[in-house]
Chain A
């Protein structure tokens, strides 16, 4: 009997080929869309991680509670000791100190009078130490518009837009005016080495990038740091590992209730990123659901057409003494076979195209103008393990549901009527 049915399935093209194509296409789109969104959201998460949140971030407890205001008077002291300790305890992460600060950039003319001025948002990070990955992390070299990367202490980068507003060029001298971590005023002279474009509105409006040591000198923060960011050495953010690392860390320091004790927050525990991380997980389910419904409808219709054609066959089989339930069940088994075959084919095709997008990326920099979120300018798909099985959910469920819906005709119609429809 099984052989008989499989022969029929393979030989009858409208029974196998059309549903197979529909299922493969739907599964392919599901996998592709999932990997694409995962990549897009992953890249967005990664961009935020690199510029501000890290995969995990260590701050003082007090700083973390007011982190919006960048309160450097609450900065971590003994930063290098803490960083070394973190490196030993969590070698799977790369640790980097960062100082974030605000202030005023003042451009003097030849007489020392103010020629132009503007508020700036600064990031101090390690640009000069041998082997630092910070400039690569922020993609600074590729973002250079004019000039060069800082090569020695006292050189800074400014967003190109900001530099134009201040009417300065690489090589010009500027003055930073701000307050030290002890809340006294500081004036610090720097040289512009180059300008960069971040592709993000907030940063492009007024960001400056200095070497960590310059920030320390300017803000009187010797061996202090606003934050120590941790990045997984193997690339992408992993919420589970991040949370467990943060838990381990806080259990090490839990006895210390001091405001200046270090605390560790994961990316998902900072601002709105948590929601975004969650969303990037739920999205997969929504896509699968939409495809299940859409494909079920298509297959229901295909099944109805195929079923009408097959009522004659069902009628004959019933007349031969096959039970209705058995006819219906074999129909479902057929659909399971088709569902599996289509899901395999669709998953392979989807993974292939996702892999192409993962490798080559799609440039969306044109569409991202004016965005206030930190978004990547090239979207790459990201293939995750769930892409290997995700497509089977719409592939199988919708084939079976579609078949069930159309197959109920076997029950609704009187056996004698099944022939009548054939003879007409």
Chain B
């Protein structure tokens, strides 16, 4: 398991209809990721980072080429199968947090577990574990509008991590955070990566994020420009 790749991407092309023609957002990507990586897609705006992340997250499908995530071929999945993949194995962290505003911190974090068949007591234990990881046990009853940006993003991390997915996809997770908060949540994710062996894949152009990455993949105009691996 440890040696077989968690993500395998070959000759991946993604085109979007644009006006009368097409716009090629991803133009022949070949990439592999192993379990436990802490990697990031880096590139200027419009280079295709989010597009690639969406395909890996089975929120979108390739125009050609193939993407295999945890043994499942994204372009062949039915809507139900891709929902199942997301439900069981993937966690998402978004730039704009995307928390449910009328629900408490506890309920937001509990939500992914409601889709899986955990009992109420199991859920309770898992939610408090996840909130402990991100240091938010005190704000359990607060609602997102009452939290700071950093706190919101920590709730989002807890929500992505609560079911202990194999892979977490984080799209610009620090874009709305100040420096201190950015380091704070990056350290949290790094710790979770080490302790739970969760694979993290970022999309970012933030230097703070880049400094934590152990593998940096530079995208330019829908292609992999270069790669750097830092071992530490």
Contact = CB atoms under 8 A, between A and B. Distances in A.
Q: Report the interface size class on chain A.
A: 20 to 34
A319 B160 CA distance: 10
A12 B102 CA distance: 6
Contact of A322 (B54, B57, B87, B101): B87
Contacts of B98: 312, 315-316, 319, 419, 422
A416 B100 contact: no
A414 B101 CA distance: 23
Interface in A393-418: 414-416
B210 interface: no
Contacts, number: 68
B115 A321 contact: yes
Interface string A49-80: 00000000000000000000000000000000
Nearest to B110: A4
A321 B103 contact: no
Given A12-B102, A422-B96, A318 B83 contact: yes
Q: Which of A7, A318, A419 lies at the interface centre, i.e. has the most chain B CB atoms within 10 A of its CB?
A: A419
Nearest to A14: B102
A4 B113 CA distance: 12
Contacts of A323: 79-80, 83
Contacts of A320: 86-87, 92, 111-112, 115
Contacts of A315: 98
A316 B114 CA distance: 14
Given A8-B103, A415-B60, A416-B59, A319 B96 contact: no
Interface string A310-342: 001101111111111000000000000000000
B85 interface: yes
Instruction: Classify the interface of chain A: helix, strand, loop or mixed.
Output: helix
B193 interface: no
B107 interface: yes
Nearest to B51: A416
Given A319-B59, A416-B54, A419-B94, A4 B111 contact: yes
A322 B103 CA distance: 17
A4 B98 CA distance: 17
Contacts of B100: 8, 313, 316
Interface in A266-318: 312-313, 315-318
Interface in B64-111: 79-80, 83-88, 90, 92, 94-96, 98-103, 107, 110-111
Interface string A1-30: 100100110011000000000000000000
A4 B114 contact: yes
B134 to A, nearest CB: 17
Contacts of A11: 102-103
A423 interface: yes
For B57, B87, B90, B98, the residue with the greatest tally of chain A CB atoms inside 10 Å of its CB is B98
A312 B103 CA distance: 14
Nearest to B114: A1
Nearest to B165: A321
B83 A423 contact: no
A423 B94 CA distance: 10
B85 A321 contact: yes
A251 to B, nearest CB: 65
A415 B60 CA distance: 7
A270 B98 CA distance: 69
Contacts of B57: 319
Which 3 residue pairs across A and B have the least CB separation, nearest first? A321-B87, A321-B86, A11-B102
Given A312-B98, A313-B100, A419-B98, 15 more contacts: A4-B114, A8-B103, A12-B101, A12-B102, A316-B98, A318-B86, A320-B92, A320-B111, A321-B87, A321-B90, A322-B87, A324-B83, A414-B59, A416-B60, A422-B98
Interface of A: 1, 4, 7-8, 11-12, 312-313, 315-324, 414-416, 419, 422-423
18 contacts: A1-B114, A1-B115, A7-B102, A8-B102, A12-B101, A318-B86, A319-B59, A319-B92, A320-B92, A320-B111, A321-B86, A321-B87, A321-B90, A322-B83, A323-B83, A324-B83, A414-B60, A419-B94
